[in-house]
Chains A and B, each alone.
Chain A
Amino acid sequence: MATRLRIAVVERDRERAHQVVDALSDAGDYEISVIGDETGLARKLGALDPDLVLIDVANPSRDMLEELALASSPLDRPVAMFVDRTDDSLTAQAIEAGMSAYVVDGLHKERIKPIVDAAMARFAMVSRMRRELEATKAALAERKTIDRAKGLLMAARGIGEEEAYALLRKTAMDQGRKIGEVAAALVTAADLLK
């Protein structure tokens, strides 16, 4: 086995792939390849012959790796396997963090751990940022809807903004729904009645 580990990162999202590569470069001296297009994944990995493949567990292409694991020497031992089959907690953590690793048999855990740790930490960070962004977007959209609903109520009932908001809030509380939902229903109904 070469001294420098060959790591393949399977990730379609360029930004995310960069993050993982950066993290791995900080963690040690590795030969890293990124596969951004999963078409013919097994063939590409076969050509690269990496020691370790990192792939998001939410990626359906992971099933293609099974084929690779079987391809070379299915009878005596698998070419690729899970991080460490004796240690359920590590495996579980890897899965929990959204990253799993396939490792060539014979590779020591001590060498893999920093790689996986670094990749997982970065991956989790990117995922968190994404969730925050989505939440912000959703909040903005909801606020716009509420503003429109307020406007509709103000015009229809001749009431002020605060009163309109209070009415939305009261309706939502009475019906056990979110203000955003009540507002969206009102806006939809108003659009239909136009």
Chain B
Amino acid sequence: MIPVDAGFIALVDAAPLVMAREMGFAEEEGVDLRLHRQASWSMMRDRLAVGHLQAAQMLAPVPVAMSMGLGGLPMPLDATMLLSVNGTVIGVSPRLATRMRERGVGNDIMAAGRIGESLVAVAGERLRVGVPFPFSMHAELLYYWLGSLGLRAPEGLEVRTVPPPMMADAMGTGEIDAFCVGEPWGSIAVERGVAELVLPGCAIWRFAPEKVLAMTRAMIERDADMTRRLMRACWRAGRWLSDPAHHMTAAEILGRPAYLDLSAEIIERALSGRLVISRAGEERAAPRFIEFHRGLAQFPWRSQALWIATRIAARMGLDREEAARVARDCFRADLYRANLGPIGADMPGASEKLEGALSAETPVASSTGRLFLGPDGFFDGLIFDPAAH
């Protein structure tokens, strides 16, 4: 057995790593997968850099930001594959939620435009929103969503870093008015009566890359065999997770003390896409709330990295061309093809695509000819063309 130390954060989307271990996918690959819960993303990143961890669950924008020389150690960190797509929620204080309802925001939780306009209208002078990390899809989705509705940072929008387990506390003390966070921490805030969920992240972008299996480029080069085995185990774990019949089992395992240490019921809400949005127990269905496998969810599209890079570059005043150039290389579509092709993973014809062009599930050319992509639209209907960057 090859020992592999991998880090995870207590989130529902740690599931692929946890299931790779608990359901025996790692063992089948001859990998003794030892999972270490980390308290912060920065710690995870630094432990990867110094080699305490060989692999980690990581926010998709972190490898991109690091390749652009932003934040932390200047060391190439790669996304070998995606672990999950979507899975975040946006919640607001009960006070703001009431005022949004009074404006007649409606019951369609996927109506990002209408809900956003309503939030902007009741936000007051400045909306303070908590996100888990400066480089996260949470921050990117929020800037994209509210920015296109006219609420821009720093004038009208203040985005603050709040670690997920502390999000409910920050809402409780009134330090923030709203948040975008990965499950189950939004549901925890609802349970504690300090927030109502108004929008799932997937309503902003139907197919947003969320977590990646990150490794340093040096580690990937040094141990190609281990990398291949680990990727295969995670890929199979993701496929296993995509079967709704496994949600209950997955929720039970994730709830264990070593992982999330929370009730399985709260965890299952995200897996099934049935969110309890308020203390009153109102439930909403969010289709494709989190994806681990379907629609090629594990493929690290270079166009996703480009989208992230151009967004970060624009916000921080960096050169977009240069950002696009370095970001492209850290989403390792090449590794995905080389390591997962032989075990039957579907391979798309290209490694870049238009982002946001598919409004429905669409058959596309692939190695097996049975591949469906999408929907992957942005709420405002814009299409991101990687060739333009």
Contact = CB atoms under 8 A, between A and B. Distances in A.
Q: Do A and B come from one complex?
A: yes
Interface of A: 38-40, 42, 57-67, 69-70, 74-75, 78, 82, 85, 88, 91-92, 95-96, 100
Which residue, of B71, B135, B318, has the highest number of chain A Cβ atoms within 10 A?
B71
B76 interface: no
A65 B52 CA distance: 21
A59 B73 contact: no
Contact of A63 (B50, B51, B161, B175): B161
B74 interface: yes
Given A66-B133, A75-B316, A57 B39 contact: yes
A66 B316 contact: no
- Across chains A and B, which 4 residue pairs bring their CB atoms closest together, nearest first? A60-B163, A67-B161, A62-B40, A60-B39
5 contacts: A39-B173, A42-B161, A59-B40, A92-B52, A95-B46
B163 A61 contact: yes
A75 B163 contact: no
B74 A85 contact: yes
B50 A70 contact: no
B161 A60 contact: no
B170 A63 contact: no
B193 interface: no
A45 to B, nearest CB: 12
Nearest to A67: B161
Contacts of B292: none
B46 A63 contact: no
Contact of B50 (A42, A62, A74, A88): A88
Nearest to B132: A63
Nearest to A63: B40
A39 B50 contact: no
A82 to B, nearest CB: 6
A61 B134 contact: no
Contacts of B43: 57-58, 62, 95, 100
Contact of B46 (A39, A59, A60, A82): A82
Contact of B41 (A38, A42, A63): A63
Given A91-B50, A92-B52, A95-B52, A60 B133 contact: no
Nearest to A100: B46
Given A62-B40, A92-B50, A67 B160 contact: yes
Contacts of A38: 166
B124 interface: no
B318 A75 contact: yes
B42 interface: yes
Interface size, B (range) = 20 to 34
A66 B159 CA distance: 13
B320 interface: no
B46 A66 contact: no
Interface in B153-190: 160-166, 170, 173, 175
Interface string B122-137: 0000000000111100
Nearest to A102: B42
Contacts of B135: 66
Given A67-B134, A75-B316, A85-B73, A62 B170 contact: no
Contact of A66 (B134, B165, B175): B134
A42 B317 contact: no
A57 B7 CA distance: 14
A55 B223 CA distance: 33
Contacts of B73: 82, 85
Given A82-B46, A95-B47, A66 B71 contact: yes
A76 B73 CA distance: 14
Contacts of A67: 134, 160-161
B166 A61 contact: yes
A57 B132 CA distance: 16
Kindly name the residue among B39, B47, B133 whose own CB sees the greatest number of chain A CB atoms within 10 A: B39
B224 interface: no
Contacts of B318: 75
Contact of A70 (B74, B134, B163): B134
A33 to B, nearest CB: 20
B70 to A, nearest CB: 7
A39 B171 CA distance: 11
Given A70-B134, A75-B317, A60 B166 contact: yes
Contacts of B170: 39
Interface string B203-220: 000000000000000000
A65 B42 contact: yes
A9 to B, nearest CB: 17
